């Protein structure tokens, strides 16, 4: 009987104050983002460890090599206190490296993180309004995500064996400038063609670097910030007249690969959440009401690789 051992701690929320600022990000035309001060950095972290040293706990109940998952939770906080945490990916790398350095019987690990965004609140200032240096408001929509696979490199260090970065929770509605027509029709088709329609999408956008070390942001000029990806997707959606969601994500993906030559792959997981029409004004057809759509939802994916 073959086996593969994994265990760990999930949903560890860490709120870190005064992390190292992110500066020097290469600007792109679609986004005003150039960095973040990281006065408050927050993430939901999961660590999963791998190794044959844990097999006796499964086979015989021998827990002598088992690092309790509660210990893992405490360790994540301790390592986060020492981490620079400039980017989510660097934060995960620093915590994951600390695990492998501290517990030599862990052969490798997977560490996953989701941003918990707390943008600065906008407050009155002497000459108008500006971002507070002490008050932050939880943003519960979009999140940056990252996953790193780490193992020892045989020379006393740690190497990245796999990685993935992403932006989840995008919800974008465009009232005009989208179409869906000329699709295949048969006896089962009831959907009308629309040369211009509102389009509401939920989207997850992913990316991978050619050189995984670029994901850490040690060279900020080669780092792709999740905020920039959101801004780019919104800019393309705004200006591009798409003939389908497939057409739209293809355009966004090509723009991403054009803007960031350090990326090897971009991916999309989108849902069509277009609202059901409620009522239409008799005097002005632009004035309408809509209701949330009933499931099921259209599901569209795409991966583009160089």
Percent of the chain with pLDDT over 90: 84
Q: Looking at the structure, tell me whether residues 114 and 238 fall in a common domain.
A: no
Q: Is residue 271 part of a domain?
A: yes
Reported residue count of the chain is: 306
**What does the pLDDT read at residue 183?**
76
Q: Is residue 15 part of a domain?
A: yes
Q: Looking at the structure, tell me whether residues 40 and 108 fall in a common domain.
A: yes
List the end-to-end C-alpha distance of the chain, in Å, as a whole number: 40
191: pLDDT strictly greater than 80: no
Q: Looking at the structure, tell me whether residues 190 and 103 fall in a common domain.
A: no
Q: What is the Cα–Cα distance from 196 to 191, expressed in whole angstroms?
A: 14
Specify the 3-state DSSP secondary structure of 274. coil
List all residues 6 or more positions away from 71 whose beta carbon is below 8 Å from its beta carbon: none
Q: Looking at the structure, tell me whether residues 258 and 215 fall in a common domain.
A: yes
Question: Which pair of structure tokens corresponds to residue 267?
Answer: 């991916």
Write down the mean pLDDT value for the chain. 94
Of 115, 150, 166, which residue sits at a domain end?
A: 166
Q: What is the Cα–Cα distance from 177 to 241, expressed in whole angstroms?
A: 5
Q: What is the pLDDT of residues 61-75, one digit of tens each?
A: 999 999 999 999 999
Q: Looking at the structure, tell me whether residues 10 and 139 fall in a common domain.
A: yes
The residues pairing with 285 across neighbouring beta strands, listed in sequence order, are none
What CATH number should be reported for the domain holding residue 277?
Answer: 3.10.270.10
Q: What is the mean pLDDT of residues 1-6?
A: 87
Count of alpha carbons within 13 Å of 290, Cβ hemisphere only?
Answer: 15
Q: Looking at the structure, tell me whether residues 101 and 188 fall in a common domain.
A: no
From 80-89, 99-108, 115-124, 180-189, the region with the lowest mean pLDDT: 180-189
Q: Looking at the structure, tell me whether residues 84 and 233 fall in a common domain.
A: no
Q: What is the pLDDT of residues 192-242, one digit of tens each?
A: 778 888 899 999 999 999 999 999 999 999 999 999 999 999 999 999 999
Pick 163 or 286 by higher pLDDT: 163
CA triplet 104, 109, 110: central angle to 5 degrees? 165
**What does the pLDDT read at residue 144?**
97
Q: Please give the DSSP secondary-structure letter assigned to residue 210.
A: S
Q: Looking at the structure, tell me whether residues 249 and 274 fall in a common domain.
A: yes
Question: Which pair of structure tokens corresponds to residue 39?
Answer: 């006065």
Q: What is the mean pLDDT of residues 139-144?
A: 91
Percent of the chain with pLDDT over 70: 100
Task: Please tell me the total count of domains within the chain.
Answer: 2
The answer to whether 87 is a known catalytic residue is no
Q: Looking at the structure, tell me whether residues 236 and 273 fall in a common domain.
A: yes
The answer to whether 9 is a known catalytic residue is yes
**What does the pLDDT read at residue 154?**
81
Of 166, 201, 224, which residue sits at a domain end?
A: 166
Domain that holds residue 145: 6-166
Q: Is residue 18 part of a domain?
A: yes
289: pLDDT strictly greater than 90: yes
Of 166, 191, 215, which residue sits at a domain end?
A: 166
Q: Is residue 1 part of a domain?
A: no
Q: What is the mean pLDDT of residues 40-47?
A: 98
Q: What is the Cα–Cα distance from 200 to 247, expressed in whole angstroms?
A: 14
Q: Looking at the structure, tell me whether residues 99 and 195 fall in a common domain.
A: no
Of the candidates 69, 51, 60, the one whose C-alpha atom is nearest the C-alpha of residue 6 is 51
Catalytic residue among 26, 34, 69, 204: 69
Q: What is the Cα–Cα distance from 236 to 36, expressed in whole angstroms?
A: 23
List all residues 6 or more positions away from 125 whose beta carbon is below 8 Å from its beta carbon: none
Q: Looking at the structure, tell me whether residues 158 and 104 fall in a common domain.
A: yes
182: pLDDT strictly greater than 80: no
Q: Is residue 97 part of a domain?
A: yes
**What does the pLDDT read at residue 111?**
98
Q: What is the mean pLDDT of residues 277-284?
A: 93
Q: Looking at the structure, tell me whether residues 120 and 200 fall in a common domain.
A: no
Q: Is residue 211 part of a domain?
A: yes
Q: Is residue 20 part of a domain?
A: yes
Question: Which pair of structure tokens corresponds to residue 170?
Answer: 């995008």
Q: What is the mean pLDDT of residues 129-136?
A: 93
């Amino acid at each position: 009987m073959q086996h593969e051992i994994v265990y760990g701690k999930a949903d560890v929320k860490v709120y870190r104050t005064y992390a190292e600022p992110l500066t020097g990000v290469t600007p792109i035309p679609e986004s005003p983002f150039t960095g973040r001060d990281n006065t408050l950095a927050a993430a939901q972290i999961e660590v999963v460890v791998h190794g044959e040293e844990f097999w006796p706990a499964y086979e015989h109940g021998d827990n002598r090599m088992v690092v309790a998952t509660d210990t893992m939770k405490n360790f994540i906080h301790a390592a986060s206190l020492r981490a620079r945490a400039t980017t989510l990916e660097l934060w995960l790398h620093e915590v994951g490296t600390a695990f492998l350095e501290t517990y030599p019987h862990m052969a490798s690990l997977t560490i996953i993180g989701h941003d918990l965004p707390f943008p600065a609140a906008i407050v009155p200032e002497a000459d108008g309004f500006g971002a507070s240096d002490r008050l932050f408001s939880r943003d519960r929509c979009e999140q940056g995500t990252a996953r790193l696979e780490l193992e020892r490199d045989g020379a006393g260090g740690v190497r990245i064996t796999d990685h993935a970065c992403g932006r989840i929770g995008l919800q974008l509605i465009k009232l005009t400038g989208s179409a869906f027509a000329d699709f295949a029709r048969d006896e089962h088709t009831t959907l009308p063609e629309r040369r211009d329609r509102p389009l509401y999408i939920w989207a997850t956008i992913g990316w991978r670097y050619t050189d995984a070390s670029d994901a850490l942001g040690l060279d900020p000029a080669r780092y792709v910030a999740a905020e920039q990806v959101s801004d780019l997707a919104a800019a393309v959606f705004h200006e591009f007249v798409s003939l389908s969601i497939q057409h739209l994500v293809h355009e966004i993906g090509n723009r991403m690969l054009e803007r960031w030559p350090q990326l090897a792959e971009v991916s999309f997981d989108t849902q069509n959440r277009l609202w059901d029409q409620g009522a239409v004004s008799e005097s002005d057809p632009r004035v309408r009401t809509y209701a949330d759509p009933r499931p099921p939802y259209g599901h569209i994916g795409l991966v583009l690789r160089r």
